[in-house]
Chain A
Amino acid sequence: MAMTATVGHAHADPHHIGLVIEHPGPAPKRIVTAYGFWVFLLSDIVMFSCFFAAYAVLSGQTAGGPKGSEIFEQRNVAIETVCLLLSSFTCGMASIAADVHNRFWFYLGMAVTCVLGLIFLAIEFNEFADLIARGYGPSRSAFLSSFFSLVGCHGLHVSAGVLWLLTMMAQVFAKGFRADVLRRMMCFALFWHALDIIWVGVFSVVYLLGGSV
């Protein structure tokens, strides 16, 4: 009986859950900043999810206007997607360059990211302008309202990202790879990659699923 108790005790906590690991104290600034920015990104994704939900609810409400399959051009969307995915890669290159304090590769990576982002925005702007010119603006139907808002909200984020990107380049130019500049660069990279992830959602839900209706 006593023996079983001993054995039981030895095996009761195989993963050391009962062992209290002392908290080491406040985390370093780099961790705190990145963590906070992650939390922000999660909240941003919640906001996008509302626009996704609105699109899901309203995508059939065409009010006699065009359906998704009649207005989406898969070729353009494919080019947009390639631009954004490539820009995530170049943004990653710029991040690595920043970490090793290499100005040339940093500027090059950021510049290419910027150009790809601008191409993406130009294609999106064209798509919007073309739809509005054909009378299929956001006031045409609830479906188009939700389409313009969801895709436009992502576009606004990319525009803000480009503005941030240019500011980052100017900061590195003026201040060099200071600790606070590097922290901001890390946040920017997180932001840019998050936009990519959201675009994957937009691409799938809006253009693939919505385009098949």
Chain B
Amino acid sequence: MLGKLDWSAIPFDQPIPLIAGAIVLVAILAVLIWVVVKGHLPYLWHEWITSVDHKRIGVMYILLASVMLLRGGSDAIMMRVQQAIAYQSNGFLPPEHYNQIFSAHGTIMIFFVAMPFVIGLMNLIVPLQLGVRDVAFPTLNSVGFWLTATGALLVNLSLVIGEFARTGWLAFPPLSGLSYSPGVGVDYYAWSLQISGVGTLVAGINLVTTVLKLRTKGMNYLRMPMFCWTTLASNLLIVAAFPILTATLAMLLLDRYLGFHFFTNEAGGNVMMFMNLIWAWGHPEVYILVLPAFGIFSEVVSTFSGKALFGYRSMVLATMAICVISFMVWLHHFFTMGAGPDVNAIFGIASMIIAVPTGVKIYNWLFTMYGGRIRFATPMLWAVGFMVTFIIGGLTGVLVAVPPADFMLHNSMFLVAHFHNVIIGGVLFGAFAGFEYWFPKAFGFRLDERWGKLAFWFTFLGFYVTFLPLYIAGMLGMTRRLQHYDVAAWRPWMFIAAFGMLILSIGVICQIMQLVVSIRNREALRDRTGDPWDGRSLEWATSSPPPVFNFAFHPDVRGEDAYWDMKSRAQQQSLEHEAPEYQDIEMPRNSPTGFICAFFATIMGFALIWHIWWMVILGGIGAFATFVVFAWRDHDEYVIPAAEVARIDRVNLEERRSLVSMAGAL
């Protein structure tokens, strides 16, 4: 009846996951009860859960990422503490638990923190920057988000029901095959990634179509803000790379469920095929994450330097070059696995070549700052911190791209330090910069600068104190994923790294404090003009938060830095325009399709993990029925009358005029 599921699935003998699970459960229940008692449920349902508004969906993506960042961060703290104390002892984590923790940490940080964070920011901002009212497929957008949430839910469910994979975040066979991982851990891993992968693919298709087909009048390709370009590149990579992940995990699942022989040791299976396939997705994935961050930094650096981006066209070219070359370097993840010197040399050179366009970008940001009037607001701090950190991470990357050096450093802590250096220093700093920069746009008030700066400095310093020691430990021969060790020379570095983790945690607390303080002082921090940073692109041309339709009129773009251009023209000309003629606006109607679809996907995923076949069929029928019901509805749009549009738009125009006239008076 319940497949492999019985009471032995609950880890009664392991206090850590049980207590953690209980705390999370109590917290969730408390929030739910509070929501129901306070009567917020209808608001949540109508305004958020069923919303197809790209801004709301973007915010929900970022919220999901932030919560999962805390989960992944707790895993990181446990690992650092374990390695600090597990010298000639077992530490406080049993080996099989430690293995689950590093696997979950990697999986969660990449798939459920970094991905939703950047996709959330792209969702929130790109339609605004393009001057349009929504993404290409609003309901699918909601489906994509909720499927990602399903994946995150399944991963966390594994904490208390069953186990998570012990295989590392990419589940290499034959370890992840049925003979060496007979439990449900790998199945949790694979199914949650399959489900959230569909969500990611949907988001990718949606954003590619949005950038290529939905741009406002005059928004030629070479007038798009840099963030739109990097969004395009990143989502092209999603569309081209994520199907590879889907196919690879499907093969692994066929091996595990139906006795196929893709990656087994017997009957002709080929383990190296898994390596090639997974990294043919995995390396582009790196750029899927970091390209949007590059876009964010481009926006931030140019805004806070008060200058147009230096070398805009070279930046576009560099972005698209990275987009293409990212598919030609995957083999550098396994130089040591016998491809031979010629192949290794080719991929080593390709890996060095991809550093060139990245270098171009660094110089462009530096030259943008050169001669600019720089304001060191929090987003700019993250951007400058990124440049310093990312250069170090990039250089160690070029170092391990040299095959002979890689033979020494492969699978060592040096590598761990390298990829954290680029992912934290690149993607996470970028996500934080974007968060600080666009928060006023999403919510209508700025974030507290003092706490923001504290958060930056603690995170920045904490990062170095945590990860520089790992480089040294790697040089001293320490391999990654060690549950305990007997080498005395490594120990001091593990202590320092654990101390760095403490500083990083203070940074996270500052970030939470910043949010709390800012929400409390929101009236004082209110952004009335919609343009708190003196911005350059179109998202600042509307109010904060923007009305549901974003723009009363599709803006007419005449050049790069569209809003900057509009502002300078407005200052030169008279500010009084004739009263514009407002028109009715049609907007997509909200729909619970995404939420219900994800509900059935959760049931189906859970049932597949535990081999409960009747439930799989039930979930499948439910998901199909949801789509048919959606396809059957007769009204998919509603109309906002012209008078209402006019009322909303005039308020914003008044605020903006007073700002411009004030600036004129100065």
A residues whose Cβ falls under 8 Å from a Cβ of B: 20-27, 31-33, 35-36, 39-40, 42-44, 46-47, 50-51, 53-54, 57-58, 61-63, 138-143, 145-146, 148-149, 163, 167, 171, 174-175, 180, 184
Contacts and interface: CB of A to CB of B under 8 A. Distances in A.
A26 B239 contact: no
Contact of A46 (B136, B220, B244, B270): B244
B277 interface: yes
Interface of B: 132, 136-137, 201, 204-206, 208-209, 212-221, 239-244, 246-248, 250-251, 254-255, 258-262, 264, 266-270, 273, 277, 554, 557, 624, 628, 631-632, 634, 636
Contacts of A174: 632
A58 B662 CA distance: 72
B239 A149 contact: no
Contacts of B631: 167, 171, 184
B213 A138 contact: no
B243 A27 contact: no
B246 A139 contact: no
Given A43-B240, A50-B243, A58-B268, A25 B212 contact: no
B216 A50 contact: no
A200 B396 CA distance: 46
Given A57-B273, A149-B260, A167-B628, A141 B251 contact: no
Given A22-B218, A32-B209, A142-B270, 7 more contacts: A23-B215, A25-B215, A47-B247, A54-B247, A54-B273, A57-B270, A145-B267
21 contacts: A21-B220, A23-B557, A27-B213, A32-B209, A35-B136, A35-B209, A36-B137, A43-B240, A53-B273, A53-B277, A54-B247, A54-B273, A61-B269, A63-B267, A139-B258, A140-B267, A142-B264, A145-B254, A145-B255, A148-B260, A175-B632
Contacts of B216: 23, 25-26
A138 B244 CA distance: 21
Contact of A50 (B221, B244, B632): B244
Q: Is the contact region of chain B dominated by helix, strand, or loop, or is it mixed? A: helix
A142 B258 contact: no
Contacts, number: 145
A54 B251 contact: yes
Given A26-B132, A42-B239, A174-B632, A32 B214 contact: yes
Q: Which 7 A-B pairs have the closest CB atoms?
A: A61-B268, A142-B268, A50-B247, A47-B243, A139-B259, A145-B260, A36-B209
Given A21-B220, A167-B628, A39 B268 contact: no
Contacts of A51: 247
Contacts of B209: 32, 35-36, 39
Nearest to A46: B243
Contacts of A39: 205, 208-209, 239
Contact of A61 (B240, B258, B270, B632): B270
A54 B262 contact: yes
Given A32-B136, A63-B267, A141 B261 contact: yes
A37 to B, nearest CB: 8
A180 B312 CA distance: 40
A145 to B, nearest CB: 4
Contact of A44 (B208, B219, B243, B259): B243
A161 to B, nearest CB: 14
Nearest to A152: B254
A142 B262 contact: yes
A20 to B, nearest CB: 6
Nearest to B220: A23
Given A47-B243, A142-B262, A149-B254, A31 B213 contact: yes
A43 B205 contact: yes
Given A22-B217, A142-B261, A35 B239 contact: no
Contact of B251 (A24, A63, A149, A184): A149
A116 to B, nearest CB: 23
A86 B54 CA distance: 42
A43 B212 CA distance: 16
Given A43-B239, A54-B273, A138 B247 contact: no
B217 A24 contact: yes
A142 B119 CA distance: 38
Contacts of B215: 23, 25-26
Nearest to B267: A63
A39 B140 CA distance: 14
A163 B624 contact: yes
A159 B270 CA distance: 30
A74 B216 CA distance: 54
A180 B212 CA distance: 21
A25 to B, nearest CB: 4
B251 A139 contact: no
Contacts of A42: 239-240
Contacts of A171: 631-632
B242 to A, nearest CB: 7
A4 B93 CA distance: 81
A146 B248 CA distance: 12
Contacts of B239: 39, 42-43, 46
B259 A40 contact: no
A178 to B, nearest CB: 9
Nearest to B273: A57
A32 B204 CA distance: 14
Nearest to B241: A46
A51 B632 CA distance: 35
Nearest to B206: A36
A26 B214 contact: yes
Contacts of A146: 262
A36 B208 CA distance: 8
A19 to B, nearest CB: 11
A15 B254 CA distance: 54
B331 to A, nearest CB: 15
B413 to A, nearest CB: 32
A6 to B, nearest CB: 28
A41 B136 CA distance: 16
Nearest to B208: A39
B317 to A, nearest CB: 16
Contacts of A142: 261-262, 264, 267-270
A171 B246 CA distance: 31
Nearest to A45: B243
Contacts of A139: 258-261, 267
Contacts of A25: 215-217, 554
Contacts of A143: 268
A46 B240 CA distance: 7
Contacts of A175: 632, 634
Nearest to A139: B259
Contact of B136 (A24, A36, A148, A167): A36
Nearest to B236: A39
A62 B268 contact: yes
A42 B204 CA distance: 12
Contacts of B248: 50
A70 B260 CA distance: 20
Contact of A58 (B136, B204, B241, B262): B262
Contacts of A47: 243-244, 246-247
A149 B220 CA distance: 44
Nearest to A51: B247
Given A25-B215, A142-B270, A20 B220 contact: yes
A43 B201 contact: yes
B170 to A, nearest CB: 16
A170 B268 CA distance: 46
Contacts of B201: 40, 43
A12 to B, nearest CB: 19
B325 to A, nearest CB: 18
